Amino acid sequence: MIVGLGVTGCIAAYKAVEVLRGLQKRGAEVRVVMTRHATEFVGTLTFQSISGFPVISDMFAPTDDPEIKHIQLAQSIDLLLVAPATANTLAKFANGIADDFLSTLYISTTAPVLVAPAMNVEMWAHPATRDNVRRLRERGVQFIDPGEGYLACRTVGAGRLAEPAEIVERACEIIGLESPAAEPSNTSDKSLNGEHVLITAGPTQEAVDPVRFLSNRSSGKMGYSVVEEALARGAAVTLISGPVSIDPPKGARTISVRSAAEMYEAVKNNLDDATIVVMAAAVADYRPSNTQRQKIKKNGAAILLQLEPTDDILAAVGGTKDSRIVIGFAAETENVIENAKKKLNEKHADLIVANDVSASDSGFDVDTNRISLVSSEGVDELPLMSKRDAAARIVDAAIKIRQSRPLSVG
């Protein structure tokens, strides 16, 4: 089955990567079409690398193929799925406007069309949008209505893109793809049997006053992916997680913390049994020196926040590791490898997982990553991949280190 995946220009475009991966896991071949504005949010290379096919983003891009591209694709797909779909895209579809590849593909295909809108709550509620949705439904276009929640525009209400898993499930129902069998990748790989893996994940929050805090953009997705991979390979796993919006993997012992100090205490209290430690959390380097007991009132004047350093958890673990394997993360915006090598030595870690968090496809709160594994053996720079695949490579590296070091913790 071939699915044409249309991606339009809104902040939820990054979630289309997860939709793409979900469709592939169900056995679909996915051809991605991006609007010009969608490429401002996620690069075409991300979708091309994962789908294995060129991404179409220009109606008139030169090509050696004599076929008319939109007609060729329109006739070959079994489903056109647009996720996310902006209000502008819905308006084009409803009114037959074909001024880019995606809108032209829509009026050229006879395949079923499934649309997952995402937009501001007021845009979704606007009479023009409601009328466009009604007209499209009458023409047979199927919808996965947006959910309610906190939106990128800092408002709360309907307009949030439906969950990728829900979109994938609905798409597969339409084209008749069965639910996949259990993934075979790690069902017989129990290479972490006997290991107790301690993993930190997510951000920390450092209180300024009762309603404000300092934090970062970590979603916890990378750390949680490592938890899933370690569990799949037979390890006992303790997860120490900062505040995130994702559910902890089943099978892990989960300890929820909020501040860097709480995470430090939780790591210390659970370190003795750990044979492998993966420090994937984005721990705050600084916290306010004095947390105010009452809310700081706005009076128009500037305020000065004095900060003090937090405890260095990775350095503390690395300094007493013995035969324990210690893996740290380096989220960098420049000199990525150089800074990772420095961190490897200063923290006495066995491996540093480094990535450029300023990149749109491999930074915080996306489902893909482009990591480099930095160890005393050298640097292994990996291509863009899903965070679960990246987790598998991290676990592979840990197993390789274990093979060279006998287990004697406890």
- Active site (catalytic) residues: 153
**Do 268 and 257 touch, CB atoms closer than 8 A?**
no
**Residue found under tokens 């902040």:** 11
**CA-to-CA dists, residue 261 to 244, 253, 327, angstroms:** 17, 20, 20
Q: How does DSSP classify residue 247?
A: P
DSSP string of 12-66, one letter each residue: GGGHHHHHHHHHHHTT-EEEEEE-TTGGGTS-HHHHHHHHSSPPB--TT---S--
Burial (CB < 10 A; 0-12, 13-18, 19+), residue 5, is buried
| Cα–Cα nearest to 288, from 314, 309, 269 | 309
Q: How many whole angstroms separate alpha carbon 158 and alpha carbon 142?
A: 18
Q: How many whole angstroms separate alpha carbon 387 and alpha carbon 392?
A: 9
Q: How many whole angstroms separate alpha carbon 138 and alpha carbon 135?
A: 5
Tell me, rounded to whole angstroms, the distance of Cα 173 from its chain centroid: 25
Contacts of residue 401, defined as CB under 8 A and 6 or more positions apart, other chains included, come to 325, 350, 351, 375
- Long-range contact set of residues 292-298: C-beta below 8 Å, sequence gap at least 24: 292/208, 292/209, 292/210, 293/209, 293/210, 294/209, 294/210, 295/209, 295/210, 295/211, 295/212, 296/208, 296/209, 296/212
